[in-house]
Amino acid sequence: MYFAALLARTEDGWEASDTELDDVETLSDLADLAREASPDEDTVLVLIEQEDAWFGVVRVDGEDDPRIYVSDAAAAQRSAYGELLLTDELLGREPGVDDGPDLDSLDLDGTEDGESEDDEDEEEEGAATDAVPHSPVGDSEILDDLGISEKELRALDADDALNTIAEALGASEVLETVR
């Protein structure tokens, strides 16, 4: 089960809104959705959680690039919403590198199977470098100026992280109204 909410900082405090992510296909779409929640270009947090598995925070400050934190990259990768957040840059991968084989580099000279032992070794090494860690990724200082240190953020459990974050921001009541 997933839960996603927007927390927009306003002059009067935080405003929360439940958000539907079914129409969001890219991180840019998510950032645009967040910007729409704050016409004054104030800070907007997108909070996403998958029950007991992982949570993510996307911070959008005006037109700045979104900042992202994901508590468990491997768990998030197995979900549609997590895949939105796990960009190549966030995972330390070369942008635009396709996971599939490059057809131009395939050995199609008619030898048995078209592969050599060297090719198999390279594939195993590539799979190891593409592995997604079972650990936090992203900007762990994303909430520092809002009262949640890097250490505190990394220590949060997925099952109560969003409530803890909202409480630290003074937004627990408004978040509860959209739960």
Structure confidence by residue, pLDDT tens digits, 131-141: 788 899 999 99
The string of pLDDT tens digits covering residues 73-110 is 999 999 888 888 998 888 888 776 555 445 454 555 55
Global pTM value:
0.79
Task: Name the more confident of 149 and 80.
Answer: 149
Res. 166: pLDDT tops 80: yes
Give every CB contact of residue 85 below 8 A, 6+ residues apart in sequence: 27, 48, 56, 58, 68, 70, 76, 138
- Write the single-letter amino acid at 58: V
